[in-house]
Amino acid sequence: MNLLITALLAASLLVSPQTGAMCSELDLPVTGPTGGAATVHGQLCKPANANPTSVQLLVHGGTYNRAYWDIGIEQYSYQRDMARNGFTTFAVDRLGAGQSTHPASLPMLINVEARSMHEVVSHLRAGHVGGTAFQKVVIVGHSVGSGIVAAEAATYHDVDGVVLSGMTHMPAVPALAVGAALGLTPVFLDNQLAHLGTDPLWFTTRPGARRGLFYSANADEAVIAADEATKDEVSVPGMGTVAVFGIVLPTTYGIDVPVFQAVGSQDVLFCGLLALRDCSSAASLRAGEAPYYRPEAQLETYVLPGAGHSLGLHRNAAEYYDATRNWLRAKGL
């Protein structure tokens, strides 16, 4: 196993002169949906001149992959921004996405997703990622990824902090229903991703749909284009179990470490007129969300003004990055 890990760590190294981020890619062995071997691919980014002993494990949402955290445009890269400010991150492709193992869609349920992230946490603590045995791990989710993160933290109790973004416990059900009906399509019918196979329950977004689903007017056209170019697939059964057991039901009540929850004020999927959650301010968001957490979570909330669902990819995303860092520092993470 040690030889395998060493071999998997042999990846190309990329240093960004703009941010001082040192990034490398690697594969990690995890358990697949039916108990067999699988791999999770990820990108480690750390400060070029430091070696922190804390790490953020970044878990993307549905129809995304790890590119959500490093879209290819410097100012919108969560990973490189964090590295420039002294923080290490490890962004993974969830099973079924990016360069990770692509299983059948049907067994890709929330418990499988949570287990694979738990195994990645174990790798981070054991020094299998970049050679550092991280003493503290903060697990960070976006959208569907936040539901998975909530289940992982509540089930395994193996992390030191939790960041949930792009979700509330009261989604805008009409917007989600219309978005799914008009915005999603089976992967095998999509020209861009048809090469991924014919499994009928892997879905992706229709061409051009991401703009309306994930963005407000406060978004850069180049970012939306990059998002469209890097879109990925999501398991319909998996997304359903995450929606129910990771987002709507109070799974988060099982989290016993500090939690930071962030949304965009213009998130049409979880905020606004069709939602039952007031996202107009951090205070109003906390008032609605607090009953879903125990006191140990010390829930803190944040609302990025004018941002849509994918808040980390809007023009003022740096404000969200700063708020997350301020929370991490305040909690000693």
In the beta sheet, which residues pair with residue 14? 23
Task: Tell me the mean pLDDT in the region 300-315.
Answer: 98
What is the pLDDT at residue 280? 94
What is the pLDDT at residue 14? 46
Helices 144-156 and 110-126 meet at what angle, rounded to 10?
70
What is the pLDDT at residue 19? 52
Confidence check: pLDDT of 67 > 80: yes
Give the full edge-to-edge strand order of the sheet including 202-205. 184-186, 202-205, 234-235
Q: What's the CATH code of the domain at 244? A: 3.40.50.1820
Average pLDDT, the chain: 93
What's the number of domains the chain is made of?
1
DSSP codes of every residue in 99-143: TS----STT--HHHHHHHHHHHHHHHHHT-STT---SEEEEEEET
Phi, psi at residue 67, to the nearest 5°? -60, -20
Confidence check: pLDDT of 158 > 60: yes
Give the full edge-to-edge strand order of the sheet including 259-264. 13-16, 21-31, 37-47, 88-92, 54-59, 136-142, 161-165, 259-264, 300-304
DSSP H or E run through 59:
strand 54-59
- Give 24's DSSP letter: E
Structural contact between residues 143 and 62, judged by C-beta atoms closer than 8 angstroms: yes
CB within 8 A of 332, min separation 6: which ones? none
C-alpha pair distances (Å), 118 with each of 29, 94, 328: 12, 12, 21
Give the rounded percent of residues in the chain with a pLDDT score beyond 70: 94
C-alpha pair distances (Å), 177 with each of 50, 63, 82, 292: 46, 16, 35, 24
- Please tell me the least confidently modeled range out of 144-148, 170-174, 183-187, 203-207: 170-174
Confidence check: pLDDT of 2 > 50: no
Residue where the block lists tokens 């229903």: 177
> What domain range is 297 assigned to?
2-330
Confidence of residue 20 (pLDDT cuts 50, 70, 90): confident
pLDDT digit string (tens) for 40-53? 999 999 999 889 99
What is the pLDDT at residue 175? 82
Alpha-carbon gap, residue 184 to 267, rounded angstroms? 18
CA-closest candidate to residue 224, choices 305, 145, 144, 315:
315
Q: Count CA atoms closer than 13 A to 83's CA, side-chain side.
A: 31
What is the pLDDT at residue 8? 38
pTM to 2 decimal places: 0.93
Burial per residue of 178-203, b for 16 or more beta-carbon CB atoms within 10 angstroms, e otherwise: ebeeebbebbbebeebeebeebebbb
